[in-house]
Chains A and B, each alone.
Chain A
Amino acid sequence: MEKLPHDPTDTQLTGVGRRNFMRYLGTSAAAGVILSACHTELVDPTQQGSGRLGDTIDLGDIGYNDTTVLNFAYALEQLESAFYTQVMMTPYANMNGYERAVLTEMRDHEINHRELYRTLLGSAAIPNLTPNFSSVNFNNRTSVLLTARTFEAIGTSAYNGSGRLLKNPDNLALAGKIVSMEARHVAILSELLGPMTAYFAGNDIVSKDTGLGEARTPEEVLALARPYIQETINGKNARMA
């Protein structure tokens, strides 16, 4: 399979970044210390897996400014793109032609989203995350597709919940362009899992009383995403308390 640039799943954990960081900090990684700002000074953020197991990546007060919200979205897009990249590197048994095509396209959409955020955030970007997909059986179709649907549904609810935190209308417009793609992915993944049913917009993700899709606060989203990320990723959303 062709290798795409900047795939976190290619990462070999050398520990160099972490050692450098420890030397700089002169102490063990104390809980609660905000590392993200330091990281970008010490570790080339375009390198793979510049975050490290045991590190804490703090997104800060999500909604304080638009950069915090974009970094939050960037974290989710990193996770999704890493997932699909792994899926297509180790496709499950008997993946059919349609599945191969749409999963590849979904991967490319998520990589494009990730790279756009990386570009827009520049030096303000959080480090590359190291995914933890140990709970996923990549050789099992249901495990893969269910995980993908879960990620996309979380992503949709994250954008729905955090749109109100953005201050610049251009950023809201951009988030709007991306969230509907997450939702389109949800529908197609749902169709692969539960063909010929209402699962594409199931009552688990859309309220049957209001017809409204899910919305989650950043903290709720991070709680769901945390098990899939090796670094400890933190963030608050004081603005929504």
Chain B
Amino acid sequence: MNLQNILNELENVDADVFERIEHVSRRHVFHNFLKKAAAGIAPVAFGAVLNKAYAQGNATVVDVLNFALTLEYLEAEFYNRALGSNLIMGMEGQQTFQQIALHENAHVMVLKTALGGAAISKPNFDFTAKGAFPDVFSNYSTFLKVSQAFEDTGVRAYKGQAPRLMPFPDVLTTALRIHSVEALHAAKVRYLNGARGWITGNNPGTPGVPAAIYAGDDNVIQAGVNTAQLGGVGFERATESYDEPLTKEAVLAIAAPFLA
């Protein structure tokens, strides 16, 4: 089979998927969803809808969602283990990380449901990152650093994948809705670390959080415009104003030490 045939075949598969989205999501479900979304929050069944449309797998969707699932597995297990350990995090930490754990475990469920049989299994993790954070579950300060690393990486990871999901509006919307929650988490954890909720330049803001996570975050050129010259706010505020994406490869390189 030559390349053109493969491309044609993919096109046919895609058209099929579009039809199913159109049918399942728009007609039967999305209408009702939007009504409920007036309250801002869509029902739990959303994952099941994605499952219907994509269970058999569009390569891009499966790839992006499994990538996301890997990160959510990582985060969920990280918080589950911390909350189940003897780590002393105090009242504020308990309240914060119970809420974050609730969300990360829910994200795992949403993504697993969406992927159905195409979902990857949970990898084994090493939260010390091969010894870089040996006391991650016994020293709250270390735990907070790793948490910030995961949350800020998560924000950049989803952001980087969003354009790939454009042909699949329901999946895109779900991904965006996870993305914004990762940003809520990131800002709160940064606050607990004594840092600003946002990223200035490419500075982690918290000593000990890997610098690679913030590579390129000092960009001020947006859509060809130098935003450091807009509104008289200056370079630092301009870098803060825009969170930069990370490629899948960069994210996996950051996550690699945490895979056992």
B7 CB-CB contact with A under 8 Å: no
Chain A CB within 8 A of B104 CB: yes
**Alpha-carbon separation in the docked complex, A178 to B241 (Å):** 7
Knowing A177-B245, A180-B155, A181-B198, the reply to whether A212 touches B230 (Cβ < 8 A) is no
CA of A224 to CA of B119, assembled, Å? 38
* A181-B37 contact given A4-B231, A174-B222, CB 8 Å threshold: no
Residue-wise interface mask of B (147-165) relative to A, using a CB-CB cutoff of 8 A (1 in contact, 0 not):
0000000010011001100
A163-B163 in contact (CB<8A): no
Dominant SS among interface residues on chain A: helix
Q: Report B's interface with A, CB cutoff 8 A.
A: 34, 37-38, 40-44, 46-47, 91-92, 95-96, 98-100, 102-107, 109-110, 155, 158-159, 162-163, 166, 169-170, 172-174, 176-188, 191, 196-198, 222-223, 225, 227, 230-234, 237-238, 240-245
| Residues of the B chain whose Cβ atoms lie less than 8 Å from the Cβ of A216 | 37-38, 40
Which of B42, B198, B244 has a CB less than 8 Å from the CB of A105? B198
The residue from B38, B41, B92, B184 contacting A183, defined by CB atoms under 8 A apart: B184
**Interface positions of A (Cβ within 8 A of B):** 2, 4-6, 102, 105, 108-109, 111-116, 119-120, 156-157, 159-161, 163-164, 166, 169-174, 176-188, 191, 195-198, 200-201, 205-217, 220, 240
What are 29 A-B pairs with beta-carbon distances under 8 A? Answer: A105-B196, A108-B231, A112-B227, A112-B237, A114-B231, A173-B163, A176-B159, A176-B162, A179-B176, A180-B182, A184-B183, A184-B186, A184-B198, A200-B184, A201-B181, A201-B188, A207-B106, A209-B44, A210-B41, A210-B44, A210-B47, A211-B106, A211-B178, A212-B42, A212-B110, A215-B40, A216-B37, A216-B38, A216-B40
Contact between chains at A212 and B181 (CB < 8 Å): yes
A169 CA / B92 CA spacing, docked (Å): 39
**Contact: A217 with B187, CB < 8 Å?**
no
Within 8 Å CB of B162, what residues of A? 163, 172-173, 176
Measured between beta carbons, the chain A residues less than 8 angstroms from B181 are 183, 201, 206, 211-213
- Residue in A109, A180, A197, A200 whose beta carbon sits within 8 Å of that of B180 in the complex: A180
The distance in angstroms between the C-alpha atoms of A238 and B38, with both chains bound, is 16
Indicate if the CB atoms of A172 and B163 lie closer than 8 Å: yes
Best-buried of A6, A160, A211, A240 by chain B (most CB within 10 Å) = A211
Say whether A164 contacts B41, CB under 8 Å: no
Nearest chain A CB to B48's CB is how many angstroms away? 11
Contacts of A169 in B (CB 8 A): 163, 166
Residues of B within 8 A of A185 (CB): 187, 197
CB-CB under 8 A from B166, the residues of chain A are 166, 169, 172
**B175 CB to nearest chain A CB (Å):** 9
Which residues of chain B are near A172, meaning CB under 8 Å? 162-163, 166
